[in-house]
Amino acid sequence: MSGLRITAVPGVPEVRAGADLVELFCAALDGAGLDVLNGDVVTVTSKVVAKAEGRVVPCADDEEAKVALVEREAVRVLRRRGTLRLTETAHGFICANAGIDLSNTEQGTAVLLPVDPDRSARRFRAELARVRGVSVAVVVTDTFGRVWRNGVTDVALGSAGLRPVLDLRGTTDGNGRVLQATEVAIVDELAGAVDLVLGKSSRTPFAVVRGLDASYFGEGSVKEHVVRSANDDLFR
Amino acid sequence: MSGLRITAVPGVPEVRAGADLVELFCAALDGAGLDVLNGDVVTVTSKVVAKAEGRVVPCADDEEAKVALVEREAVRVLRRRGTLRLTETAHGFICANAGIDLSNTEQGTAVLLPVDPDRSARRFRAELARVRGVSVAVVVTDTFGRVWRNGVTDVALGSAGLRPVLDLRGTTDGNGRVLQATEVAIVDELAGAVDLVLGKSSRTPFAVVRGLDASYFGEGSVKEHVVRSANDDLFR
């Protein structure tokens, strides 16, 4: 558990509804002379997942129309400030503007979140295993703000083949004492790590992470393990 | 901007008050046959920074004493649930239990946060430049929870030599449209990325990140750029 290599996969064309993301990933990989191996993690931005799944909707290019779309798509609005809405989505994510994206889209359109990003990750994983014969984990990433810190970071909206939150409770530290509660959201750390090499262009939606400890792989989903129930949080 | 390599630096002894962290870092680096180069980012956990700076205080091993210490150290308590306190620290960080750590410490003690983690990062950076002749960025990391997502992730408490929040606003996307507000908290993404290779032992407090885009280096501090003012947040 000493080294991690994160590589962006360049050369991906604009993604349209119905696109085969695994095919696009493999073509870009081959075109760049890169490879994907057993035990790698492949990440894909939720935006291209959503586009491929046809989650592009018409939206007039004015603030009023955008806010109306956000309020329709959100299951709950927690806070309003100007045109910003802090929302809960149907998935249970708490994020700005129901996760709807207006950049990197064609004029007059907006991109909603994928309906079920964990399912999208599972499908990508299964299809990649089928066409390339490799067993990898997959993380679907997106960009969220934080309540008490400036700046956005990428987090995981969906995953497959990973233990999204790694429970280190009960393991002992250097002094033989049992560690305090330490459940590490490794899927979110992976998403943020990959963002450091992706930049913000839509043309590099994929990255490959190599060298993740074998113990991090396993079963789980973001919806089940990362999304916090309203009962557990202190601010709903 | 296509590849990042993250390497944990093993073999660091227990850190005590007055320890020279740069000396420990260099010895561990050499012992492991690793190197540090111009343009790398070196990360160090806030726990060993705090220990080296003598921020270890006595604390009885019972819940009441721990809560009392937390309430004394916090400048404000935002929420109370059981023995958990959601606090604002003197630095302006919003985190559990005033950032005080009771694991990886000697029995009957607790470790407070460094007084000024940005200053700690600047000192480490300057000292490393002096003894090794390399120009690197430095990030002091710690583990924080999140309001609406399960699991903790590592974030930056201090930094030197980096632009902590990278402003991508005004750059154009693949369609030539100006991107929406996208200020990326790269110091936090770096901290989380490194956590993926560190594990939770106190014996690997250092990591080296290689391959970060040159445009990410520059001036700034976590206190100035990442800590959100109370006026800007929706939950204070």
Whichever domain contains B197, its CATH number is 3.30.1330.100
Please indicate, yes or no, if residue B210 is contained in any of the structural domains: yes
Q: Where are the alpha helices (DSSP H) in chain B?
A: 21-31, 46-52, 63-73, 117-132, 186-198, 222-225
Q: Is residue A11 part of a domain?
A: yes
Amino acid A130: pLDDT: 98
Mean pLDDT of chain A: 91
Residue B142 has pLDDT above 60, yes or no: yes
Of B113, B129, B150, which marks where a domain is finished? B113
Is B125 touching A (CB cutoff 8 A)?
Answer: no
CB contact under 8 A, A3 and B1: no
Q: Report the range of poorest mean pLDDT among A22-36, A173-187, B37-51.
A: A173-187
Tell me if A180 and B103 make a contact (CB, 8 A cut-off). yes
Residue A38 CB-half CA count within 13 A = 2
- Asked whether residue A138 falls in the same domain as residue A210, the answer is yes
A226 has a chain B CB within 8 A of its CB: yes
**ipTM value:** 0.93
Q: What is the pLDDT of residue A175?
A: 53
Q: Any idea which of A14-18, B2-6, B26-30, B131-135 has the lowest mean pLDDT? A: B2-6
Q: Give the one of B188, B200, B211 whose C-beta lies nearest to A182's C-beta.
A: B200
- Residue A168 lies inside a defined structural domain of this protein: yes
Is some CB atom of chain B closer than 8 A to the CB atom of A149? yes
Residue A144 confidence class, pLDDT cut points 50, 70, 90? very high
Residues B102 and B119 in one domain: no
What pLDDT is stored for residue B1 in this prediction? 42
- For chain A, the domain total comes to 2
Nearest to A179 among B10, B164, B200 (CB): B200
- Report chain B's mean pLDDT, rounded to a whole number: 91
The residue from B83, B113, B143 where one domain ends is: B113
Residues of chain B positioned with their CB less than 8 A from the CB of A149: 155, 185, 188, 226-228
> Do both A135 and A193 map to the same domain?
yes
Regarding predicted confidence, which is higher, B229 or B69?
B69
Whole-model pTM: value is 0.94
Order of strands, edge to edge, in the sheet holding B76-81?
Answer: B76-81, B84-88, B94-96
For residue B161, what are the domain limits?
Answer: 5-46+115-225
**Does B195 reach chain A within 8 Å, measured CB to CB?**
yes
DSSP strand pairing (B183-185 vs B84-88): unpaired
Q: The domain that contains A86 carries what CATH number?
A: 3.90.1660.10
DSSP letter, residue B129: H
- Could you tell me if A15 lies within 8 Å of chain B, comparing CB atoms? no
- Residue B33: CB atoms within 10 A of its CB come to 6
Domain shared by A170 and A121, yes or no = yes
Mutation for A interface: B148, B188, B206, B228, most A CBs within 10 A: B148
Residue B47 has a pLDDT of: 94
- A200 and A212 co-located in one domain: yes
Taking residues B46-54, report their average pLDDT. 96
Q: How far is CA A157 from CA A103, A185, B122, B185, in A?
A: 19, 12, 35, 18
Using CA coordinates, name the residue in chain A closest to B84: A234
Q: Which of A7, A103, A185 sits opposite B173 (nearest CB)?
A: A103
Predicted confidence band of residue A1 (pLDDT cuts 50, 70, 90) = very low
A105 and A142 inside one domain:
no
Indicate whether A35 and A69 sit together in one domain: no
Does residue B193 have a pLDDT over 80?
yes
Residue A199 has pLDDT above 80, yes or no: no
Interface contact A212-B196, CB threshold 8 A: yes
- Residues in A closer than 8 angstroms to B211, CB to CB, are 197
Q: How many angstroms separate the CA of residue A146 from the nearest CA in chain B? A: 8
- The answer as to whether B234 is a domain residue is no
Mean pLDDT of B212-226: 95
Is residue A118 included in any domain, yes or no? Answer: yes
Task: Clarify whether residues A60 and A93 are in a common domain.
Answer: yes
Question: How do A183-185 and B84-88 pair as beta strands?
Answer: unpaired
Residues A67 and A143 in one domain: no
What does the pLDDT read at residue B37? 98
Domain-embedded: residue A191: yes
Are residues B63 and B40 part of one domain?
A: no
Q: Mean pLDDT over residues B10-32, rounded? A: 96
Instruction: Flag whether residue A234 sits within 8 Å of chain B, measured between CB atoms.
Output: yes
Domain boundary among A112, A130, A153: A112
Backbone φ and ψ of B56, nearest 5°? -95, 130
Is A235 among the domain residues? no
Same domain, B139 and B218: yes
H or E element that contains B144: strand B137-144
Which residues from chain A sit within 8 angstroms of residue B173, using beta carbons? 103-104, 200-202
Query: CB–CB of A183 and B151 under 8 A?
Result: yes
Q: Which two tokens stand for residue A165?
A: 């939150």
Residue A37 covered by a domain? yes
Q: Is A127 a residue whose pLDDT tops 60?
A: yes
pLDDT at A43: 98
Distance (Å, whole) CA A124 – CA A20: 9
- Pair B88, B191 in one domain: no
Chain B: nearest CA to A232, how far in angstroms?
9
pLDDT in tens, B143-183: 999 989 999 999 999 999 999 999 875 555 555 555 555 79
